[in-house]
Amino acid sequence: MVDETKKKEILEKLKNGVIQYDEDACREGAQEAVDLGMDANEAIFEGLVAGMEEVGRLFEAQEYFVPEILMCADALYAGLDILKPHCQQMDLGIKGSVVIGTVEGDVHDIGKNLVKMMFDVAGFTVYDLGRDVPLDKFVEEQLRTDSDLVCLSAMMTTSMVGMPKVIEKIKEKNPECLIMIGGAPTSKELADKWGADGYAQDASNALKEAIKMVAFLRKLREEKLKK
Amino acid sequence: MESSALKEYLKSKGATLVGVGDVSRALTDEIIHLNRGIAIAVNRSLNRTTVDLLSRLQELTVEWLKERGARALAIPPDSDRITDTFVSRLYKLFSHKTAATCSGLGWVGKNGLVINRKYGSKLTWATVLTDAPLQADLPTTHSECGDCDLCVKHCPSGAIRGRVWSSGDPLREMVAYEKCRSLKNDRLLLKGKPNCGLCVTICPYSRNGRKKVEPCGVCVGS
């Protein structure tokens, strides 16, 4: 039986490690969790992700800027690397796989990488196509992997124009597939117009959306556990 | 905020040079709020010890700033960059040369490297960007290479263009880097080591002002 006080302490350590972008603390906390035989999923979601949620709030409140966010993400990954091998496959009742990439002509992928991270954490299988991805590659990859979610990112108006083409092609071949778009020039209106299912405006909103998604998954998971 | 305390502190821990520059004009959106660049240099032998010392100095700087409630972003030495982290994506947004010249520690020489009056190019640099309102040093605005063109003449790959830097034109390409790189690649294949560094050792500033070059079988004629 895992000691409750000790467990709380470790979760707190993981959470604060992420918030204070302290990679060593995250590594240490993760190792302690493993040594103690704690549930790795719990350590990830109640510790690391809980910390990242707070980071999202700090970012919104403009307490944190881009460099802090990235350092927090690095700290989260430091802990995740240790915990992931000890994770039981999470059964969320949905098939979690996602194709993600920055569209052709665009090399800005900080936002994309943050969103990718949250999917990673949530236990999704992530097919990351990287940046400057040819439009057809998204369609091909979706068909190849049969992913139920495709995330398109762009930071420039000039590259954004490729998005509706991808959406159309994917929807034509596989109407079930959900598509989320994001990046500075995109908008809710454009997402609706182009037939995308989800939208995030920029790095902060993408992060918020991703956090919302993960929080939602967490809730699902908790409800499942109660049953 | 006085910057002398930080400078003294870092020098006591082994830094050769420390400068604080106003770097606002060189910042992109992601880091626009971090308008002070702290340039830290260690007189090298470029080996593990130098790089470890610089990393340590950087950590100390970040701690020092955090304790005073300021934000900090450490840009590690070029030779010690882990590239698979999130924060490493920001490193290339800012060059050590900008911090060094903005804090008056040197100019960009014809050899494309920061040249300090006392130590020449034999320095390894690290930068910490911060929003702490540190008093900034006077920037270097002009090259002091003068008509010296030893590095231009002796560069084995002929990569050095002989251009003169000024802070008004900081992005001017001083060196044909593809030539420099291809020479280093060739050497790597030939000797297992890419080392060249002739543009560092030949510079009179790196050799305490000695202008005369002793002929040597390796560099002359190549």
DSSP states along B145-187:
-TT--HHHHH-TT--B-----BTTSTT---B-HHHHHHHHHHH
pLDDT of residue B183: 87
Please give the Cα distance from A28 to A26 (Å, whole number): 5
Tell me which chain A residue has its CA closest to the CA of residue B74.
A67
pLDDT of residue B25: 84
Please give the Cα distance from A206 to A100 (Å, whole number): 13
Q: What tens digit of pLDDT does each residue of B158-202 get?
A: 999 999 999 888 778 899 989 998 888 888 888 887 778 899 999
Strand order in the sheet with B36-43: B17-22, B36-43, B123-130, B72-75
Please give the Cα distance from A12 to A206 (Å, whole number): 26
Cβ atoms of residues B45 and B127 within 8 Å: no
Task: With beta carbons under 8 A apart, name residues in chain A contacting B90.
Answer: 66-67, 70
- The tokens 């108006």 sit on which residue? A157
Please give the Cα distance from A204 to A132 (Å, whole number): 21
Determine, for residues B86 and A68 on separate chains, whether the beta-carbon distance falls below 8 Å. Answer: no
- Give B168 to chain A, closest Cα distance, Å: 28
Cβ atoms of residues B37 and B129 within 8 Å: yes
Q: Give yes or no for A156 touching B (CB within 8 A).
A: no
pLDDT band at A210 (very low <50, low <70, confident <90, very high): low
Tell me which chain B residue has its CA closest to the CA of residue A203.
B30
Tally of CB atoms within 10 A around A220: 14
Amino acid sitting at position A192: D
Q: 3-state SS of B85-120?
A: CCHHHHHHHCCHHHHHHHCCCCEECCCCCEEECCCE
Q: Give yes or no for A202 touching B (CB within 8 A).
A: no
Token reading at B192 = 């297992």
- Phi and psi angles of residue A198, each rounded to the nearest 5 degrees, phi first: -145, 160
- Residue A209 pLDDT > 70: no
Amino acid sitting at position A24: D
Which residue of A18, A22, A64, A70 is the best one to mutate when testing the B interface, meaning the one whose CB has the most B CBs within 10 A? A70
- Phi and psi angles of residue B78, each rounded to the nearest 5 degrees, phi first: -55, -35
- Phi and psi angles of residue A215, each rounded to the nearest 5 degrees, phi first: -60, -40
Please give the Cα distance from B1 to B68 (Å, whole number): 10
Determine, for residues A65 and B71 on separate chains, whether the beta-carbon distance falls below 8 Å. Answer: yes
pLDDT band at A93 (very low <50, low <70, confident <90, very high): very low
Tell me which chain B residue has its CA closest to the CA of residue A63.
B71
Q: Give yes or no for B71 touching A (CB within 8 A).
A: yes
Task: With beta carbons under 8 A apart, name residues in chain B contacting A113.
Answer: 86, 89
Of B184, B25, B168, B166, which Cα lies nearest the Cα of B109? B166
- Give B169 to chain A, closest Cα distance, Å: 26
- Residue A30 pLDDT > 80: yes
pLDDT of residue A94: 47
Please give the Cα distance from B218 to A42 (Å, whole number): 63
Task: With beta carbons under 8 A apart, name residues in chain A contacting B85.
Answer: 70, 74, 77
- Give B190 to chain A, closest Cα distance, Å: 35
Total-model pTM: 0.73
Which one has a higher pLDDT value, B125 or A57?
A: B125
Determine, for residues A67 and B71 on separate chains, whether the beta-carbon distance falls below 8 Å. Answer: yes
